[in-house]
């Protein structure tokens, strides 16, 4: 099978670039001002799984790039790599450097929000506008939902339980989706790297993903916070705290919505995101 045939059949496989020495898989679509999407940390996650419903809408007006962060998806997993906030922040900045992206709009989901927030705080000139969805980034008591996500052990039944935690509506939690996500979680090397990231006790990893509050308060960026009111993974209070800390922030809350705002409220989410990003000052 040729590379072309493989990529047609495997939409989660995109282009690749070496970022900070790591061969990085990423998806790309559209043209215009660059928007970089940073996925969350669920088992079997990839840029495609996280952003497949978002990229087509954004690609009508933007150049959209979605990398698999190191340790996830189809990006290289170097032996002995330490998975921590600094490694992921370095990897994301390296990805921008490898593609010659001096300044981007940055969208981070959950774990990806913590990485986006850290990049914005430590490299403010690299970020135009910032979007944080159900984001980590400040310390909070770990929820049972997040503890279950990070403590996932591969089985179809365990994946079904996690999907019930992620989504508000059971209509989204089909046997087919559970099967797809379970199969993704047991790809060679996937669970080995995943289980190394957040071993118990897991409160320390919530704290490690936090950016100091004084750095958050100094952010100059226009910031959109998005949260599902019924999120069982990251409590809405986290976004409320970020709203109080970030001077130029606004918060949109979806009722009857869990952790998957971009999937559970896909059309509304896409309109919200495009409207926020597609303004003249975002195209400097």
Q: In this predicted model, what pLDDT tens digit does every residue of 23-77 receive, in sequence order?
A: 999 999 999 999 999 999 999 999 999 999 999 999 999 999 999 999 999 999 9
pLDDT at 237: 98
pLDDT at 195: 93
Helices (runs of H) and strands (runs of E) counted in the chain: 14, 8
CATH of the domain at 135: 3.40.50.1820
State how far the Cα of 221 lies from the Cα of 248, in Å rounded to an integer.
7
Domain that holds residue 53: 15-278
Answer yes or no: is 190 within a domain.
Answer: yes
Assess whether 110 carries a catalytic annotation.
yes
pLDDT at 3: 44
Answer yes or no: is 7 within a domain.
Answer: no
Assess whether 231 carries a catalytic annotation.
yes
Write down the catalytic residue from 41, 46, 110, 239: 110
pLDDT at 284: 43
CA angle 217, 223, 227 (to 5 degrees): 105
Q: Which residues have C-beta within 8 Å of that of residue 82, sequence separation ≥ 6?
A: none
**Number of independent structural domains in the chain:** 1
- Whether a cis peptide bond, with omega within 30° of 0, leads into 131 is no
- pLDDT classification of 279: cutoffs 50, 70, 90: confident
pLDDT at 4 over 80: no
108 in Cβ contact with 135 (< 8 Å): yes
Answer yes or no: is 248 within a domain.
Answer: yes
What is residue 165's three-state secondary structure? helix
Residue 115: which of 26, 230, 179, 36 has the closest Cα? 36
Answer yes or no: is 255 within a domain.
Answer: yes
Percent of the chain clearing pLDDT 90 (strictly above): 90
143 in Cβ contact with 235 (< 8 Å): yes
Assess whether 278 carries a catalytic annotation.
no
Write down the catalytic residue from 46, 227, 231, 239: 231
pLDDT at 171: 86
Q: Return mean pLDDT, the chain.
A: 94
Range in 5-14, 77-86, 103-112, 231-240 with the lowest mean pLDDT: 5-14
pLDDT at 172: 85
Mean pLDDT within 93-107? 98
Answer yes or no: is 166 within a domain.
Answer: yes
pLDDT at 280: 73
HSE of 168, CA atoms in CB hemisphere, 13 A: 17
Mean pLDDT within 215-236? 98
What is residue 162's three-state secondary structure? helix
Answer yes or no: is 284 within a domain.
Answer: no
Answer yes or no: is 9 within a domain.
Answer: no
Answer yes or no: is 10 within a domain.
Answer: no
pLDDT at 169 over 50: yes
């Amino acid at each position: 099978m040729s590379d072309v045939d493989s990529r047609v059949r495997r939409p989660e496989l995109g282009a690749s670039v070496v970022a900070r020495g790591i061969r990085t898989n990423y998806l790309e679509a559209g043209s215009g001002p660059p928007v970089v999407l940073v996925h969350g940390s669920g088992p079997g996650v990839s840029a495609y799984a996280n952003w497949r419903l978002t990229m087509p809408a954004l690609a009508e007006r933007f150049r959209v790039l979605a990398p698999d962060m190191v340790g996830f998806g189809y990006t290289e997993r170097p032996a002995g790599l330490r998975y921590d906030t600094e490694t992921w922040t370095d990897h994301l900045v390296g990805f921008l450097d490898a593609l010659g992206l001096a300044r981007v709009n940055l969208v981070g989901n959950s774990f990806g929000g913590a990485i986006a927030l850290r990049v914005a705080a430590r490299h403010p000139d690299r970020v135009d506008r910032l979007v944080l969805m159900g984001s980590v980034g400040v310390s909070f008591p770990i929820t049972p939902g997040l503890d279950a996500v990070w403590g996932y052990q591969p089985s179809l039944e365990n994946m079904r339980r996690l999907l019930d935690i992620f989504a508000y509506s059971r209509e989204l939690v089909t046997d087919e989706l559970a099967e797809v996500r379970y199969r993704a979680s047991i790809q060679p090397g996937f669970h080995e790297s995943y289980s190394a990231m957040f071993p118990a006790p897991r409160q320390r990893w919530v704290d490690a993903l936090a950016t100091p509050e004084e750095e958050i308060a100094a952010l100059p960026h226009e910031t959109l916070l998005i949260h599902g009111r019924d999120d069982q993974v990251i409590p809405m209070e986290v976004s409320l705290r970020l709203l109080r800390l970030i001077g130029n922030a606004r918060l949109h809350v979806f009722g009857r919505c869990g952790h998957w705002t971009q999937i559970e409220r896909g059309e509304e989410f896409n309109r919200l995101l495009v409207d926020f990003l597609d303004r003249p000052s975002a195209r400097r």
